[in-house]
Amino acid sequence: MADLCHLPCGSIGAIGIGGRGTAILKQAAKFGEVVAVCDVDQKHAERAKELFGGRPDTYQDYRRLLERKDVDVIINGTPDHWHTAINIAACRAGKDLYTEKPLTLTIDEGKQLAMIYLLPSAIVFIKASSRATFSGCFSARLVVSPISASKS
Ligand SMILES: NC(=O)c1ccc[n+]([C@@H]2O[C@H](COP(=O)([O-])OP(=O)(O)OC[C@H]3O[C@@H](n4cnc5c(N)ncnc54)[C@H](O)[C@@H]3O)[C@@H](O)[C@H]2O)c1
């Protein structure tokens, strides 16, 4: 059986690149190419761009990043109150998703988020520390994602 830790996960776009988002992105970069970074704070976006050799494009509006067809996986490292809106938008855009906890802030957000499961191709991974590994998260995409299958 192949070593899943060394399989790629596709092109990565990161939204919210503060403390946690940057740490996640460094891990994710072992499994795919970081092609786009987005933060409302332009300095944070520029810092992340530098971290990856100046290669990723920078955005301040996550909706513009989600319009990109070449981004396969979204990493959501924004603050708690942005999780639901961005997670739903990412899945609607056909992206696979890694999101930080908490998944939701309210019961109503939970109901909205449940609609994601009606979308056939999204893989959603919610990270809670010590409950899962990065390699399990990012490498799984290549193996089970219908998005990957349809693009290959
Ligand atoms: N799994 C864990 O163990 C763990 C640990 C720490 C933090 N977290 C979670 O990670 C998330 C981020 O925490 P942090 O400590 O990195 O916060 P942070 O404030 O350092 O980073 C958040 C970043 O998101 C940016 N941002 C805010 N709104 C945005 C938007 N609409 N679009 C794009 N960028 C936006 C901010 O400018 C900032 O750079 C929180 O939800 C927190 O609960 C999880």
Question: Atom 21, ligand 1: which residue's CA is nearest?
Answer: 18
Say yes or no to pLDDT of 9 above 80. Answer: no
- Residue 46 CA to residue 3 CA, distance in Å, equals 34
Residue 100 CB less than 6 A away from ligand 1: yes
9 CB neighbour count, 10 Å cutoff: 24
Determine the distance separating the centroid of ligand 1 and the alpha carbon of 49, expressed in angstroms. Answer: 17
Residue 122: pLDDT band (50, 70, 90) is: low
Closest CA relative to residue 126, chosen from 151, 91, 92: 91
- Ligand 1 atom closest to Cα of 20? 16
Domain ranges in the chain are 1-6+81-147
The residues near 53 (Cβ < 8 Å, ≥ 6 apart) are: none
The DSSP H or E segment spanning 89 is helix 83-92
Per-residue pLDDT of 36-82, as tens digits, reads 999 999 999 999 999 999 999 999 999 999 999 999 999 999 999 99
- Ligand 1 atom closest to Cα of 44? 39
pLDDT of 58: 98
